[in-house]
A and B are shown apart, each in its own frame.
Chain A
Amino acid sequence: MKKTLSVFCVLLAALAVIGCAKKEAPAPAPAAAAVVAPYKVAFVYIGVPGDLGWTHEHDTGRLAVEAAFGDKVKTAYIENVPEGPDATRIIRQYAQDGYDMIFATSFGYMDPMVEVASEFPKVKFVHCSGYKTAENMSTYFGRIYQARYLSGIVAGKMTKTNIIGYPGAFPIPEVVRGINAFTLGARSVNPKVQVRVVWTNTWYDPVKEREAAVALLDAGADIITQHQDTVEPQKAAQERGKLSIGYDSDMRKFVGDTVLTSPVWNWGVYYVDTVRKGMDGTWKSDQYWEGLSADVVRLADFSPLVPQDVKDLVSVQKQKIVGGTWDVFTGPIKDNTGKLRVNDGAKMSDGELLGFDWLVEGVVGKVQ
C-alpha cells in the first residue's frame, strides 16, 4: 500500500511538472532613475507560441506590448494551459502574484476567469472569444470573417476546377461564419464555385487534418483553405502541386508561395491599446468585436502567384468593408438548400452572426 502511494505521489509530481512549462519573459533591466513599478501583464495560452497559428499570433501581440512600453511593463505567459480547473488555478496565481491585467486567450477559459475575476476586483481580466463579462472583465474577438471574405475572392478567381476544399474543426458558429464568408467571397467573383467542407472534430491533429485535405484534393479541389490549428492542409496541397489559403498566421512563411494569402490576426493593436488604458486608468469593461477597419484582423501579403487584377478586386472590396458602407453578410443570401435567409439589402445582426448555424448557397456540407 505504501509503495502504491509513493508511486502515485511520484506520478502526481510528474504530472505537475509536465502539465505546464512556466516561462517568464526576461525582465527588463531596471532603469536607475525610474522607481515606478512596471505594469504587470500576464497571458494564458492554450498552445505554444511556436504553433504557427493561434497562440503564435497572441504571442506576437504580447511582444508588441513589450515593444510599445519598454520597461514600463512586465509581461509573462504560461503555455499549454488546459481549459478547466487548471486554468482557474493559473489565472488565480497570476492575480495573487500582483499582475495588473490578465489576458486569457481561449474560449474555455471563460468560466474560470469569471470565477477568479469575482475574487480580485482590482485586477483587470480580459477574455478572448467568449460572451461573459463583469465589472473588471472584458471580452474581445475579431471579425476575421471579413478577411475570410477577401481571401474567398482570391480563391474564386484562381480555382480552375471550381471546387475548393475546406477542412473545418467543429460545426460551431465561429467556424460556420468563416466558411460562409469565404464562400460568399468566392461566389461573388465566380458563381460556379463549390466549397466542400470536411469536419475533423478536432482543433489540433496534424494527421487527421492532412487526411481531410487529401480527401478533398482527391474529390477534385484545387485550392485548400482551412479552419484548424496546423499547417498540414497547406502542406498537403503543396505536395500535390495545388494552391492553398492559410489561416491564423501568414502561413506562406512556413509553407511557401503556393499559399496565396492568409486571413490573419493582429492582436498587437488591441493589446497595446488595452494595456495603455489600464496604465492610465481609463480602462472600462466592454465587448470588443472589431475587424479590418481597426486593423485587428488583416489579409496577409499576397503570394507572387496572385495576379494584379485579383489584388485590385480584393482592394476594392476591402475599401468598402473598411469604409463601413458595406459588410459581408448583406442580403440577399440563400442557404445551401436554396431557401432565402437574408432579404435583399438587409444586414445580419451581430447576434445572428454569433449564433450562425446554417451554411450559405455553394457550400457542400452540413452543420450537424
Chain B
Amino acid sequence: MGLITSLIAITLRAGTSLVYATIGETFTERAGILNLGLEGIMLMGAVTSFATAYYTGNLALAIAVAVAVGGLMSLIHAFLSVTMKANQVVSGLSLTLFGTGFASFLGQRLGPASNGRYLIGLTGPRFTPIDAGALGQVPILGAILGQDLFTYGTYLLIPLAWFYMYKTKNGLWLRAIGENPRTADAMGVNVDRAKYGYTILGGMLTALGGAHLALAYTPGWSENITGGRGWIVIALVIFSMWNPARAITGALIFGGINAVQFRLQASGTNIPAGFLNMLPYLTTIIVLVAITWWETLSKRVGSPASLGTAYVREDK
C-alpha cells in the first residue's frame, strides 16, 4: 500500500468512533439539548459491549447492549433537562463523572474470577477489517473498503443523517425545535417528546463510538480507553457547524492529524514532538476560531438558538 492509501486507511479507522459520537451529539444539540455526558457514555458503551462480547461471543448482542446503555444514560439526561428543566451543563457533567467512575468499577468487577474479576487484559471477539479481495489492492479504494463493519456503518450513517436533517419533514421540525421551540410547538410538534427522542438517539450513537474502541480499534477494555475523546466530540460538533455531512471532516481531520504526526515522528523529522502532539488540538481550536469569525460575517449558520435552555410551554 502506498503512503497516501495507508494514511487514508488509518484516518478512517481513527475517525470512526468520533463520527458516531459527533453525529449523535449533532442530533441532540439540534434539538436544543447540550449533552456534556459524552465521555461517560462512550466509556460505558465500551465496557458493557466488551463484557457482553467476552461472555457471549456475540458481537451483534454486544452492540445492542452498548446502544441500550447509551440510550438509558442519555434518558437520565433527557429526564433531568427536559422534564425537570435542570441545568444541562451540570446534568451532563455529572453523567460524565458517573459514567467514568462506573465504567472503571465495572471493569474491575465484571471479569472472570481467573483474572481477579478484572476485565482489563482479556481478549474477546472483535470486528476485523473486511478483506476486499482484488479491490483491496486498488490504491485509495482499497483503503476505503478494507475497514471493519463499524467504519462501513459511518459510510451509511453520514448521508442518512444529512438526508434526515435537511430533506425530511421530521428533520425540518428537529431544526425548528433547536432554533425556536415555541414556533415548533405552534406548528404542532410535540417538543418535549422530540427532545427526549433525539437525546436518546444521540446517546445511542455515542455509545456505539465507545463500542468501536473496545470491539474493533483497540480491542479489549482498558481503563479510560477513550482518553478524552468524548470532549473532543463537543468541539467537533461546533467544528462541523451542526451539520452531519461536515461531521466527517472534523473527525477525519482530528483522527488523521493524530495518525500523521506519529508517522512524521517515526520518520525521524526535526519538528519537535511536543509541537506535533499539539497539532490535532491546535487545528481544532484554529478552525473553531475561524468558524466563529466567519459566522459573524456571514450569519448563515450558527449554534441552534435555544441550545442549552429549557423549554417551558407556559413561559411568556
Q: Are B273 and A216 in contact (CB under 8 A)?
A: no
| Chain B CB within 10 A, most for which of A171, A196, A218, A219 | A218
Complex interface: chain A residues within 8 A of B277 (CB): 199-201
Name the one of B97, B111, B121, B217 contacting A15, with C-beta atoms under 8 angstroms: B97
The answer on a CB contact under 8 Å between B86 and A7 is yes
Interface 1/0s, chain B 204-236, versus A by CB < 8 A? 000000000100011110111111010000000
Query: Contacting B266 at CB < 8 Å: which of A48, A165, A204, A254?
Result: A165
Q: In this assembly, does A308 line the interface, its C-beta being within 8 Å of a C-beta of chain B?
A: no
Q: Which chain B residue lies CB-closest to A214?
A: B10
Q: Decide if A231 touches B223 in the complex (CB within 8 Å).
A: no
Chain A residue, CB-CB nearest to B93: A11
Known pairs A11-B97, A15-B97; A204 contacts B258 (CB<8 A): no
Inter-chain contact A171/B268, CB cutoff 8 Å: no
What distance in Å separates the Cβ of B56 from its nearest Cβ neighbour in chain A? Answer: 22
B229 touches A207 (CB 8 A): yes
Q: Does A24 contact B (CB under 8 A)?
A: no
Give the segment of A298-306, A320-328, A360-368 that binds chain B: A360-368
- Known A-B contacts A10-B94, A201-B277, A366-B270; the reply to A215 vs B87 at CB < 8 A is no
Chain A positions 179 through 217: 1 when the CB is less than 8 Å from some CB of chain B, otherwise 0: 000000000000000001111111011111011101110
CB of A251, distance to nearest CB on chain B (Å): 9
Q: Are B263 and A219 in contact (CB under 8 A)?
A: yes
Q: Are A201 and B274 in contact (CB under 8 A)?
A: yes
Decide if B200 is an interface residue (CB 8 Å cutoff). Answer: no
Query: 1/0 per residue B250-293: CB within 8 Å of A?
Result: 00000000110011011110101110010000000000000000
Residue B98, interface by CB 8 Å:
yes
Minimal beta-carbon separation of B228 from chain A (angstroms): 8
State whether the Cβ of B14 lies closer than 8 Å to any Cβ in chain A.
Answer: yes
| Size band of the interface chain A makes with B | 35 or more
Q: Which residues of chain A from 305 to 346 have a CB within 8 Å of any chain B CB?
A: none
Instruction: Report the Cα distance A42→B59, complex, angstroms.
Output: 42
B41 CB, nearest partner CB in chain A, Å: 15
A14 partner residues in chain B, CB cutoff 8 A: 94, 97-98, 101
Contacting residues, chain B, for A50 (C-beta < 8 A): 107-108, 111, 115-116, 118, 120-121
Interchain CA distance A325-B100 in the complex, whole Å:
51
A208 touches B227 (CB 8 A): yes
In this assembly, does A47 line the interface, its C-beta being within 8 Å of a C-beta of chain B? yes
Q: Would B100 and A18 count as touching, CB distance under 8 A?
A: yes
For chain B, the bracket of interface size reads 35 or more
Complex Cα distance, B276 from A365, in Å, reads 13
Contacting pair B274 A232 (CB below 8 A): no
Given A11-B94, A50-B108, is A231 in contact with B121 using a C-beta cutoff of 8 Å?
A: yes
A51 is an interface residue with CB less than 8 A from chain B = yes
- Does B6 sit at the interface, judged by CB under 8 A? yes
Contacts of A293 in B (CB 8 A): none
**Is B104's beta carbon under 8 Å from chain A?**
yes
Q: Annotate B102-141 by CB proximity to A: 1 below 8 A, 0 otherwise.
A: 0011011001000110101100000000000000000000
Do residues B227 and A205 form an inter-chain contact, with CB atoms below 8 A? yes
**B262 near A198: Cβ-Cβ < 8 Å:** yes
Residues of B within 8 A of A364 (CB): 268
- Contact across chains for B262 and A211 when beta carbons are under 8 A apart: yes
Q: Measured between alpha carbons, how far is A327 from B213 in the docked complex, in Å?
A: 43
Task: Judge whether A368 and B272 touch: CB under 8 Å.
Answer: yes
Is the C-beta of B157 less than 8 angstroms from some C-beta in chain A?
no
Once the chains bind, are A215 and B98 in contact (CB under 8 Å)?
Answer: no
The CA of A11 and the CA of B6, in the complex, are separated in Å by 45
How far is A200 from B265 in the complex, measured between Cα atoms in Å? 10
A279 on the B face (CB < 8 A): no
Name the residue on A nearest B278 (C-beta): A201
Q: For the complex, is A4 an interface residue (Cβ under 8 Å from B)? A: yes
Q: Is the CB of B266 within 8 A of A18?
A: no
- Pairs across A and B, CB under 8 Å, 13 listed: A7-B90, A15-B97, A18-B101, A49-B116, A51-B222, A51-B223, A196-B266, A198-B273, A201-B274, A215-B263, A221-B266, A365-B265, A366-B270
A-B residue pairs, 10 tightest by C-beta? A18-B101, A50-B118, A215-B262, A199-B273, A219-B266, A205-B227, A364-B268, A198-B265, A50-B120, A201-B277
